[in-house]
Amino acid sequence: MTEPNDARVGLYIDFDNIVISRYQQLHGRNAFQRDGIRNFDRTSADADPVIAARLNAATVDFNAIIDFAASFGTLVVNRAYADWSVPVNASYQRQLMSRAVDLTQLFTTTTRGTKNGADIRLAVDVVEDLFRLPDLTHVIIIAGDSDYIALAQKSKRLGRFVVGIGVAGSTSTSLAAACDEFEDYDSLPGIAKVAPSAPAAAATTEKSHSGRKTAEPAVVAHSEPTPIPARNLTMVPMFSHTEESPFDEPEPAEDIDPQTVATELLVRALQIGHAKGDDDEWLNTGSVKNQMRRMDPSFNEKPLGFRSFTDFLSSRSDVAELQEDGPHRLIRLRPTATGR
């Protein structure tokens, strides 16, 4: 039985957003349109086996998403928004229904598909639930669209803890900043690491005529830190699947080393911790990580190539020193790191 003090969670899935983002992360920008995935039926006898294989490789594991959402508390709202008559969406119905997901139907009323349909319906439902369910403590939004920034901000103002989950390369950095916590789909427990296809890998290094470069797909190394663009998130508009309404050009990716960004974030978090107490005071590593996540909700050590936060801190021994204190790990900024 649910305890009175248990956290109560609302999970809202912008289905097309996450499915399209995952496909294009592995197979390249605009690949979802180019391959005609929206109306592709992999069960058809004349289905292209190459496209079917690409679609299978980009299958989204919603069980992992729902399991992660359940780690925050009891799921009292569990909805996914899409046109479920579309073959690629219909193929997920059994998996979602087995997890008691409410499949909210979005009917296509124009030749341009359901553009912005899920954004509006999802936002309206969340705001309604915030007032209808005063005991709702967490709002989890599965999407990367910048249209949800205002929704995340409103939810926080109404006292809810907001979590975002999106695919690296297709998520607005502003949305990540608007959440209390933001997770990359690839970093969720249970998500298998899939290498991008050749066209997608080539697209990450090929510059367009304007000199822009697309975001690199996230690939996690288990042995040594690999420069994964944890903050290299690019907004890609969703729900525009027709030739008359192609995807817009994504924002250019910033050429910044994510390892350097993470180190700078750690230094700032330690400086803040020391400023609140004695300058040489040892800080609890858990508190430091919480501070880093508050400053940058998208921070996660795993996409950077580290199995744990302790491993991440150990790799930054030039700027911080660790100390064991019984069951606790403590950390402080080295004086040479800031010249203090």
| Whether the domain at 8-203 and the domain at 258-338 fall into the same CATH topology | no
CATH tag for 8-203 (out of 3.40.50.1010, 3.30.200.20, 3.40.190.10, 1.10.3210.10): 3.40.50.1010
Which one, of 289, 272, 275, lies nearest residue 330 by Cα? 289
Q: What does the pLDDT read at residue 8?
A: 95
Q: What is the rounded CA–CA span in Å between residue 49 and residue 31?
A: 16
pTM for the predicted model, two decimal places: 0.71
pLDDT in tens, 84-138: 999 999 999 999 999 999 999 998 765 455 557 789 999 999 999 999 999 999 9
Share of the chain above pLDDT 70, in %: 77
State residue 241's pLDDT score. 37
Res 199 pLDDT > 60? no
CATH class of 258-338: alpha beta
**pLDDT higher than 50, residue 244:** no
pLDDT in tens, 273-327: 888 776 668 899 999 998 888 888 889 898 899 999 999 999 999 999 998 877 7
A 10 A CB-CB count for 339 gives 5
- Extents of the domains making up the chain: 8-203, 258-338
Q: At residue 242, does pLDDT exceed 60?
A: no
Average pLDDT over residues 215-240: 39
What is the helix, strand, coil percentage profile of the chain, to 5?
Answer: 40, 15, 45
pLDDT (0 to 100) of residue 152: 97
Q: What is the CA radius of gyration of the chain?
A: 21
> Average pLDDT, whole number, for the chain?
80
User: How many other β-carbons are positioned within 10 Å of the β-carbon of residue 189?
Assistant: 9
